[in-house]
Amino acid sequence: MTDRVALITGGAKGIGKAVALDLAAQGWSVAVCYRTSEREAEETRDAIERQGVRGLAVRADVSDPQAAEALIRRVEGEWGRIDALINGAGPYHRIGLLDETAEEWRSMFANNLDPVFYLARAVAPGMKARRWGRIVSFAMANADQHVAQPFVTAHYIAKAGVLILTRSLAKLLAPHGITVNTVSPGFIASGSAPESELASMVKNIPAGYIGSVQDAVSAVRFLLSEEARYVTGANLHLSGGWGI
């Protein structure tokens, strides 16, 4: 068992939920943040608690800087600390670039990039005081390639921004025993994309198959571990060779 505490945004379902349950199995206390998936978040919290550890489900719109700050303070107030921040929230939509509305364009940055900054800024002081911390964010497998993405342009730019923000935070926080890394999935069967879409992409994946949520769990588990204490500013491709 451990006294570690994790906060996972987007933790109600998919990869975030799988990571939450894996950490609970290791003895972590786990708080999951959600915006609209209340039923799923409560089910995830209950599943965490059934493993004999503390669980918490908190509704928060982390695109709002004040709400993001309040979320951090809520978890710290409940459990006294946050050892790992996992930025798993990251909605996207497919639309032609020139058909994108200004509101939709801004929402991709507000929901994919801005919360990583807001939450990291709020959680860093406590981690620095304890001289230990882990921040893991999710990008996308080819966000470092700067290739054309005419149907997910804003999402793609936001995820490229996450990579830059990750490296900047990593450099600033390394002297304080805090690592900051990114996991960049390709096609993962997490429930966020139609199975038909995933099946059609297999031919483009060098490994020849779609990844599972367990692949993502294993990547996060490593980055949170002591074995990864010297790994910071890294971008871990989780794609079976797609997008590299």
Q: How many angstroms separate the Cα of 64 from the Cα of each of 35, 142, 168?
A: 12, 27, 22
Tell me if 166 is assigned to some domain. yes
Tell me if 112 is assigned to some domain. yes
Give rounded-to-5 percent helix, strand, coil for the chain: 50, 15, 35
% of the chain with per-residue pLDDT over 70: 99
pTM, entire model: 0.95
Q: Give residue-wise pLDDT tens across range 25-57.
A: 999 999 999 999 999 999 999 999 999 999 999
The residue range of the domain holding 19 is 5-238
193 versus 152: the higher-pLDDT residue is 152
Q: Give residue-wise pLDDT tens across range 150-187.
A: 999 999 999 999 999 999 999 999 999 999 999 999 99
Annotated catalytic residue, options 118, 156, 209, 230: 156
Tell me if 244 is assigned to some domain. no
What is the number of structural domains in the chain?
1
Task: State the CATH number of the domain containing residue 72.
Answer: 3.40.50.720
Tell me if 40 is assigned to some domain. yes
Tell me if 19 is assigned to some domain. yes
Is residue 92 part of the annotated active site? The answer reads: no
Tell me if 159 is assigned to some domain. yes
Determine the Cα–Cα distance for residues 117 and 153; give it in Å rounded to an integer.
20
Q: What pLDDT is attached to residue 70?
A: 98
Strands of the chain, DSSP E: 5-9, 29-34, 55-59, 84-87, 133-138, 178-185, 188-189, 211-212, 235-238
What confidence category does residue 91 fall into, taking pLDDT thresholds of 50, 70 and 90?
confident
Residue 85, strand partner residues:
7, 135
Tell me if 243 is assigned to some domain. no
What confidence category does residue 138 fall into, taking pLDDT thresholds of 50, 70 and 90?
very high
